[in-house]
Amino acid sequence: MTKRLLRAGLVGLGAMGRHHARVLRALDGVELVGGADPIGDAHGALGGAPLVPDVERLLALRPDYVVVACPTAEHERVGLMLAEAGVPALIEKPLAHDVPAALRVVEAFESRGLLAAVGHIERYNPALRSMRTRLEAGELGEVFQVATRRQGPFPNRIADVGVVKDLATHDLDLTGWVTGATYRSVAAKTAHRSGRPHEDLVTVLGDLDSGVIANHLVNWLSPLKERVSIVTGERGCFVADTLTADLTFFANGSTVTEWDAVSVFRGVSEGDMTRYAIPKREPLTVEHETFRDAVDGKRDAGIVTLRQGLRAVMVAEAVLESARSGATVPTGCA
């Protein structure tokens, strides 16, 4: 429950913006005072709240904060306008289209001591949140590897960036978040198979400063929609399916063998499997509640900071540079 009714604005009413509007309209302690989109409100997402054509007119409605869900190419321009106006912002991921633009947004808000966050929604997925808590408690022991698969058909809403900055940034962010580690370098391959100007497939091998190895398979080419994160460690592995918000633990088993030729090899065998019962709230709602609470003055609300969003863009650009050059590329994050 907030201390006061907060006035929220929204920039962008497309495929993602309509979901932000739906959540904002139902969010306790918040009033959606208007949405800005030059194309209009094709989905009827505003539900009677004023529709305006641009950010300037949205600011005239005096919002306490603004959610930015316009195309990635517009994030910098809109973000800088909001910072100049002194308005806190929740900016959809990725923070901006490239590192210099992301850094300008970071500095614009930080120089004014102004609250802002990035909408890396996977941090609010129940399965990943439970996994992170269990990893922090040491339930897996030493972590060896993080492997993710994020694939499915091409979303027609995306036109200004490729699969790396739109989709893979989920995995690049969540891997560092769940492990508490930072990417040192990446090696990557991309492909263009669908005739679009941007890459639609990427495979990434990442080296983290904790010694963890990361592998990411991401594409817009598969008829199978998959969102899986697997963390392997000395006691077994966690498997998080973020489509269903299920978290499963596969424990290392122990077997005794009298076959000397086999017993000399070290390894693990299949053990018990546990599927955890966890509350499954909508991640987007939790993300909005978290930012609302931060705007309302709650400390340590759990937002994704602009610096964290910048780091995801830095790793994404290193991935693209590695794919172009064929070399392993340092991220500049560690």
In this structure, what DSSP letter does residue 166 have?
I
Tokens of 120: 């890396």
Give the whole-angstrom CA distance, residue 49 versus residue 161: 30
Tens digit of each residue's pLDDT (9 = 90 or more) over 93-112 = 999 999 999 999 999 999 99
Closest CA to 234 of 149, 148, 174, 145: 145
Whether 210 shows a pLDDT value over 80: the answer reads yes
CB 61 within 8 A of CB 77: no
Q: What is the mean pLDDT of residues 132-143?
A: 96
Per-chain mean pLDDT for the chain:
93
Q: Can you tell me the distance from the alpha carbon of 65 to that of 88, in angstroms, rounded to the nearest whole number? A: 5
Contact 306, 117 (CB under 8 A): yes
Domain 6-122+284-305 fold is Rossmann fold (3.40.50)
Domain ranges of the chain: 6-122+284-305, 125-279+313-330
Banded pLDDT at 256 (limits 50, 70, 90): low
125-279+313-330 under CATH 1.10.1200.10, yes or no:
no
CA of residue 288 relative to chain centroid, distance: 14
Phi, psi of 276, deg, nearest 5: -80, 145
> Would you mind telling me the total number of residues written for the chain in this entry?
334
Give the list of residues 6+ apart from residue 142 with CB closer than 8 angstroms, or none: 233, 234
Q: How far is CA 205 from the centre of its chain?
A: 18
For residues 66 and 89, the answer to whether their CB atoms sit within 8 Å is yes
Lowest mean pLDDT segment, chosen from 50-59, 80-89, 136-145, 160-169: 160-169
Provide the whole-model pTM: 0.92
pLDDT, residue 268, reads 62
Query: What would the mean pLDDT of 193-212 be, rounded to a whole number?
Result: 93
Least-confidence region, from 86-95, 193-202, 275-284: 193-202
CB-based burial label for 136 (10 Å; 0-12, 13-18, 19+): exposed
Task: Report the pLDDT averaged over residues 6-25.
Answer: 96
Q: Do 6-122+284-305 and 125-279+313-330 fold alike per CATH?
A: no
